[in-house]
Homo-oligomer: A and B are copies of this chain.
Amino acid sequence: MNFMQSLRAAWRERDTLLCVGLDPDTARLPPSLAGSPRAIFEFCRDIVDATADLVCAFKPQIAYFTACRAEDQLEALIGHIHARHPGVPVILDAKRGDIGSTANRYAEEAFARYQADAVTVNPYMGRDSVEPYLAWEGKGVILLCRTSNPGGSDFQNLDLADGEKLYARVARLASGAWNANGNCALVVGATFPDELAHVRALVGDMPLLVPGIGAQGGDIAASVSAGQTGDGFGLMLNSSRAILYASEGEGGDFAAAARRAALDTRAAINACRAS
Protein backbone atom coordinates (compact mmCIF):
# COMPACT_ATOMS: atom_id res chain seq x y z
CA MET A 1 0.00 0.00 0.00
CA ASN A 2 1.36 3.40 -0.99
CA PHE A 3 0.94 5.79 1.94
CA MET A 4 0.39 9.01 0.01
CA GLN A 5 -2.11 7.46 -2.39
CA SER A 6 -4.01 5.78 0.46
CA LEU A 7 -4.13 8.96 2.47
CA ARG A 8 -5.44 11.04 -0.41
CA ALA A 9 -8.05 8.40 -1.20
CA ALA A 10 -9.11 8.14 2.45
CA TRP A 11 -9.55 11.90 2.72
CA ARG A 12 -11.90 11.97 -0.25
CA GLU A 13 -13.77 8.70 0.10
CA ARG A 14 -14.45 9.11 3.82
CA ASP A 15 -14.73 12.92 3.67
CA THR A 16 -12.59 13.31 6.76
CA LEU A 17 -9.34 14.87 8.00
CA LEU A 18 -9.54 13.09 11.36
CA CYS A 19 -6.67 10.85 12.47
CA VAL A 20 -7.28 8.80 15.61
CA GLY A 21 -4.22 8.34 17.81
CA LEU A 22 -3.99 4.99 19.57
CA ASP A 23 -2.21 5.70 22.88
CA PRO A 24 -3.54 2.92 25.12
CA ASP A 25 -2.81 3.96 28.70
CA THR A 26 -3.12 0.80 30.80
CA ALA A 27 -4.24 2.90 33.78
CA ARG A 28 -7.24 4.20 31.80
CA LEU A 29 -8.58 1.09 30.09
CA PRO A 30 -12.30 0.50 30.62
CA PRO A 31 -13.31 -1.79 33.52
CA SER A 32 -14.84 -4.29 31.08
CA LEU A 33 -11.34 -5.23 29.89
CA ALA A 34 -9.79 -5.63 33.35
CA GLY A 35 -7.90 -8.88 33.64
CA SER A 36 -7.67 -9.63 29.93
CA PRO A 37 -4.09 -10.55 28.95
CA ARG A 38 -4.70 -8.85 25.58
CA ALA A 39 -6.55 -5.83 26.98
CA ILE A 40 -4.44 -3.30 25.06
CA PHE A 41 -5.12 -4.98 21.73
CA GLU A 42 -8.81 -5.48 22.49
CA PHE A 43 -9.26 -1.87 23.56
CA CYS A 44 -7.58 -0.48 20.45
CA ARG A 45 -9.28 -2.98 18.13
CA ASP A 46 -12.71 -1.95 19.36
CA ILE A 47 -11.87 1.75 19.00
CA VAL A 48 -10.61 1.08 15.47
CA ASP A 49 -13.68 -0.88 14.44
CA ALA A 50 -15.96 1.83 15.84
CA THR A 51 -14.23 4.71 14.05
CA ALA A 52 -12.60 3.35 10.87
CA ASP A 53 -15.19 4.87 8.52
CA LEU A 54 -14.58 8.30 10.10
CA VAL A 55 -10.81 8.56 9.84
CA CYS A 56 -8.13 9.23 7.23
CA ALA A 57 -5.48 7.36 9.27
CA PHE A 58 -4.80 5.61 12.55
CA LYS A 59 -1.71 6.52 14.54
CA PRO A 60 -0.58 4.01 17.18
CA GLN A 61 2.05 5.46 19.57
CA ILE A 62 4.68 2.76 20.04
CA ALA A 63 5.77 3.70 23.58
CA TYR A 64 2.38 2.75 25.00
CA PHE A 65 2.99 -0.78 23.77
CA THR A 66 6.71 -1.23 24.37
CA ALA A 67 6.71 0.13 27.92
CA CYS A 68 4.63 -2.87 28.96
CA ARG A 69 6.02 -5.62 26.69
CA ALA A 70 3.03 -5.48 24.34
CA GLU A 71 4.89 -5.55 21.01
CA ASP A 72 2.84 -8.58 19.96
CA GLN A 73 -0.37 -6.64 20.60
CA LEU A 74 0.87 -3.76 18.42
CA GLU A 75 1.67 -6.22 15.62
CA ALA A 76 -1.80 -7.76 15.99
CA LEU A 77 -3.46 -4.34 16.00
CA ILE A 78 -1.81 -3.14 12.81
CA GLY A 79 -2.53 -6.51 11.20
CA HIS A 80 -6.15 -6.11 12.20
CA ILE A 81 -6.41 -2.63 10.67
CA HIS A 82 -4.92 -3.81 7.37
CA ALA A 83 -7.15 -6.89 7.24
CA ARG A 84 -10.43 -5.37 8.32
CA HIS A 85 -10.10 -1.80 7.14
CA PRO A 86 -8.02 -1.92 3.96
CA GLY A 87 -7.25 1.53 2.61
CA VAL A 88 -6.90 3.18 6.03
CA PRO A 89 -3.20 3.97 6.40
CA VAL A 90 -1.38 3.30 9.67
CA ILE A 91 1.17 5.81 10.95
CA LEU A 92 3.55 4.39 13.54
CA ASP A 93 4.28 7.27 15.90
CA ALA A 94 7.83 6.48 16.97
CA LYS A 95 9.75 9.75 16.43
CA ARG A 96 12.95 7.88 15.66
CA GLY A 97 16.22 9.61 14.83
CA ASP A 98 19.65 8.00 14.56
CA ILE A 99 22.70 7.54 12.30
CA GLY A 100 22.19 5.72 9.01
CA SER A 101 23.16 2.20 10.04
CA THR A 102 20.80 2.33 13.02
CA ALA A 103 18.09 4.19 11.10
CA ASN A 104 18.04 1.24 8.69
CA ARG A 105 17.03 -0.93 11.61
CA TYR A 106 14.36 1.47 12.82
CA ALA A 107 12.94 1.62 9.29
CA GLU A 108 12.87 -2.17 9.24
CA GLU A 109 11.11 -2.18 12.61
CA ALA A 110 8.42 0.23 11.43
CA PHE A 111 7.85 -0.94 7.87
CA ALA A 112 8.77 -4.65 7.86
CA ARG A 113 8.09 -5.82 11.40
CA TYR A 114 5.06 -3.66 12.19
CA GLN A 115 3.87 -3.18 8.60
CA ALA A 116 3.21 0.53 9.18
CA ASP A 117 2.48 2.69 6.14
CA ALA A 118 4.27 5.71 7.58
CA VAL A 119 6.48 6.57 10.55
CA THR A 120 7.23 9.77 12.43
CA VAL A 121 10.92 10.76 12.44
CA ASN A 122 12.92 13.38 14.36
CA PRO A 123 15.06 15.50 12.01
CA TYR A 124 17.64 16.77 14.55
CA MET A 125 20.39 14.44 13.26
CA GLY A 126 19.97 15.63 9.67
CA ARG A 127 19.73 14.20 6.22
CA ASP A 128 21.59 10.88 6.48
CA SER A 129 19.52 10.02 9.56
CA VAL A 130 16.32 10.42 7.51
CA GLU A 131 17.40 8.83 4.22
CA PRO A 132 16.96 5.19 5.28
CA TYR A 133 13.24 5.87 5.76
CA LEU A 134 12.90 7.92 2.59
CA ALA A 135 14.38 5.01 0.64
CA TRP A 136 11.23 2.96 1.30
CA GLU A 137 9.45 4.55 -1.64
CA GLY A 138 5.82 3.76 -0.91
CA LYS A 139 6.11 4.54 2.78
CA GLY A 140 5.45 7.90 4.40
CA VAL A 141 8.12 9.72 6.40
CA ILE A 142 6.55 12.30 8.69
CA LEU A 143 9.20 14.63 10.08
CA LEU A 144 8.80 16.60 13.30
CA CYS A 145 8.71 20.26 12.34
CA ARG A 146 6.82 22.39 14.89
CA THR A 147 5.46 20.27 17.73
CA SER A 148 2.39 21.03 19.83
CA ASN A 149 3.99 20.78 23.31
CA PRO A 150 5.16 23.81 25.33
CA GLY A 151 8.85 22.90 24.91
CA GLY A 152 8.34 22.85 21.15
CA SER A 153 9.38 26.50 21.26
CA ASP A 154 12.71 25.88 23.01
CA PHE A 155 14.55 25.07 19.78
CA GLN A 156 12.10 24.77 16.88
CA ASN A 157 11.04 28.39 17.12
CA LEU A 158 14.52 29.88 17.40
CA ASP A 159 15.54 32.49 14.86
CA LEU A 160 18.48 31.47 12.73
CA ALA A 161 21.12 33.99 11.71
CA ASP A 162 19.59 34.34 8.24
CA GLY A 163 16.19 35.23 9.73
CA GLU A 164 14.56 31.85 9.14
CA LYS A 165 13.05 29.90 12.04
CA LEU A 166 14.52 26.47 12.72
CA TYR A 167 11.16 24.74 12.06
CA ALA A 168 10.90 26.57 8.73
CA ARG A 169 14.34 25.30 7.77
CA VAL A 170 13.13 21.76 8.50
CA ALA A 171 10.03 22.37 6.38
CA ARG A 172 12.08 23.72 3.50
CA LEU A 173 14.45 20.74 3.42
CA ALA A 174 11.63 18.22 3.83
CA SER A 175 9.70 19.67 0.92
CA GLY A 176 12.78 20.21 -1.21
CA ALA A 177 16.04 18.28 -1.24
CA TRP A 178 14.80 15.43 0.94
CA ASN A 179 11.61 14.75 -0.97
CA ALA A 180 12.89 13.09 -4.14
CA ASN A 181 10.51 10.17 -3.65
CA GLY A 182 7.55 12.41 -2.77
CA ASN A 183 7.04 10.54 0.49
CA CYS A 184 7.73 13.29 3.06
CA ALA A 185 5.15 14.84 5.33
CA LEU A 186 5.49 17.04 8.43
CA VAL A 187 4.24 17.26 12.01
CA VAL A 188 2.98 20.74 12.90
CA GLY A 189 1.02 21.25 16.11
CA ALA A 190 -2.51 22.64 16.25
CA THR A 191 -1.44 24.86 19.12
CA PHE A 192 0.41 27.26 16.79
CA PRO A 193 -1.89 28.20 13.88
CA ASP A 194 0.31 31.06 12.64
CA GLU A 195 3.21 28.70 12.28
CA LEU A 196 0.98 26.10 10.67
CA ALA A 197 0.01 28.72 8.07
CA HIS A 198 3.68 29.55 7.54
CA VAL A 199 4.55 25.88 7.00
CA ARG A 200 1.64 25.46 4.58
CA ALA A 201 2.93 28.40 2.58
CA LEU A 202 6.38 26.80 2.40
CA VAL A 203 5.45 23.23 1.46
CA GLY A 204 2.69 23.41 -1.16
CA ASP A 205 0.21 20.58 -0.74
CA MET A 206 2.43 18.31 1.36
CA PRO A 207 0.34 16.46 3.98
CA LEU A 208 0.64 17.81 7.52
CA LEU A 209 0.01 15.70 10.61
CA VAL A 210 -1.46 18.04 13.19
CA PRO A 211 -1.56 16.82 16.80
CA GLY A 212 -2.90 18.94 19.59
CA ILE A 213 -6.64 19.13 18.98
CA GLY A 214 -8.72 17.56 21.73
CA ALA A 215 -6.94 17.01 25.06
CA GLN A 216 -4.09 19.36 24.17
CA GLY A 217 -6.50 22.24 23.49
CA GLY A 218 -5.59 23.22 19.93
CA ASP A 219 -8.27 25.14 18.07
CA ILE A 220 -9.89 23.19 15.22
CA ALA A 221 -11.17 26.16 13.25
CA ALA A 222 -7.84 27.98 13.39
CA SER A 223 -5.92 24.82 12.44
CA VAL A 224 -8.14 23.98 9.48
CA SER A 225 -8.10 27.55 8.25
CA ALA A 226 -4.33 27.80 8.57
CA GLY A 227 -3.41 24.37 7.30
CA GLN A 228 -5.85 23.10 4.69
CA THR A 229 -4.92 23.03 1.04
CA GLY A 230 -7.01 24.92 -1.52
CA ASP A 231 -9.26 21.92 -2.07
CA GLY A 232 -10.00 21.48 1.66
CA PHE A 233 -7.62 18.57 2.32
CA GLY A 234 -3.92 18.36 3.21
CA LEU A 235 -4.33 17.71 6.95
CA MET A 236 -4.39 14.77 9.32
CA LEU A 237 -5.86 16.29 12.48
CA ASN A 238 -5.00 13.92 15.28
CA SER A 239 -7.02 13.34 18.40
CA SER A 240 -6.02 10.58 20.82
CA ARG A 241 -7.18 10.90 24.41
CA ALA A 242 -10.41 12.83 23.74
CA ILE A 243 -11.60 9.92 21.61
CA LEU A 244 -10.05 6.90 23.34
CA TYR A 245 -11.29 7.90 26.78
CA ALA A 246 -14.58 9.56 25.79
CA SER A 247 -16.50 7.19 28.08
CA GLU A 248 -14.52 8.13 31.19
CA GLY A 249 -16.76 9.61 33.85
CA GLU A 250 -19.93 8.62 32.04
CA GLY A 251 -19.36 4.85 31.90
CA GLY A 252 -21.13 2.82 29.24
CA ASP A 253 -19.77 1.37 26.02
CA PHE A 254 -16.33 2.85 25.43
CA ALA A 255 -16.34 2.11 21.69
CA ALA A 256 -19.72 3.73 21.18
CA ALA A 257 -18.55 6.78 23.15
CA ALA A 258 -15.40 6.91 21.03
CA ARG A 259 -17.52 6.79 17.87
CA ARG A 260 -19.67 9.67 19.09
CA ALA A 261 -16.57 11.71 19.91
CA ALA A 262 -15.08 10.91 16.51
CA LEU A 263 -18.30 11.88 14.73
CA ASP A 264 -18.43 15.16 16.64
CA THR A 265 -14.79 15.91 15.91
CA ARG A 266 -15.10 15.09 12.22
CA ALA A 267 -18.19 17.29 11.99
CA ALA A 268 -16.44 20.14 13.79
CA ILE A 269 -13.54 19.84 11.36
CA ASN A 270 -15.73 19.58 8.26
CA ALA A 271 -17.73 22.64 9.29
CA CYS A 272 -14.52 24.67 8.96
CA ARG A 273 -13.26 23.26 5.66
CA ALA A 274 -13.26 24.90 2.27
CA SER A 275 -16.18 23.46 0.33
Residues of A in contact with B (beta carbons under 8 Å apart): 23, 25, 61, 63-64, 66-69, 71, 95-103, 105-106, 108-109, 112-113, 122-130, 144, 147-156, 158-161, 163, 166, 169-170, 173
Contact = CB atoms under 8 A, between A and B. Distances in A.
Given A25-B101, A99-B148, 12 more contacts: A63-B102, A68-B113, A95-B96, A95-B98, A126-B147, A126-B150, A126-B155, A127-B151, A129-B149, A129-B151, A158-B160, A159-B161
A61 B159 contact: no
22 contacts: A61-B98, A63-B98, A63-B102, A63-B103, A67-B106, A69-B71, A69-B113, A95-B96, A97-B122, A97-B124, A97-B144, A99-B147, A122-B122, A123-B124, A123-B154, A124-B124, A125-B147, A125-B149, A126-B154, A126-B155, A127-B150, A155-B166
A74 to B, nearest CB: 11
A170 B100 CA distance: 22
A2 B106 CA distance: 29
A65 to B, nearest CB: 9
Contact of A64 (B102, B112, B147, B154): B102
A152 B125 contact: yes
Contacts of A125: 95, 122, 144, 147, 149, 151-152, 156
A99 B63 CA distance: 11
Contacts of A148: 99
B152 A158 contact: no
Given A71-B69, A169-B155, A149 B100 contact: yes
A108 B63 CA distance: 9
Contacts of A151: 125-130
A194 to B, nearest CB: 18
Nearest to A103: B63
A180 B159 CA distance: 27
Contacts of A97: 95, 97, 122, 124, 144
A166 B158 contact: yes
Contacts of A23: 101-102
A109 B159 contact: no
Contacts of A67: 105-106, 108-109, 112-113
A169 B154 CA distance: 9
A68 B159 CA distance: 41
B147 A158 contact: no
Contacts of A159: 160-161
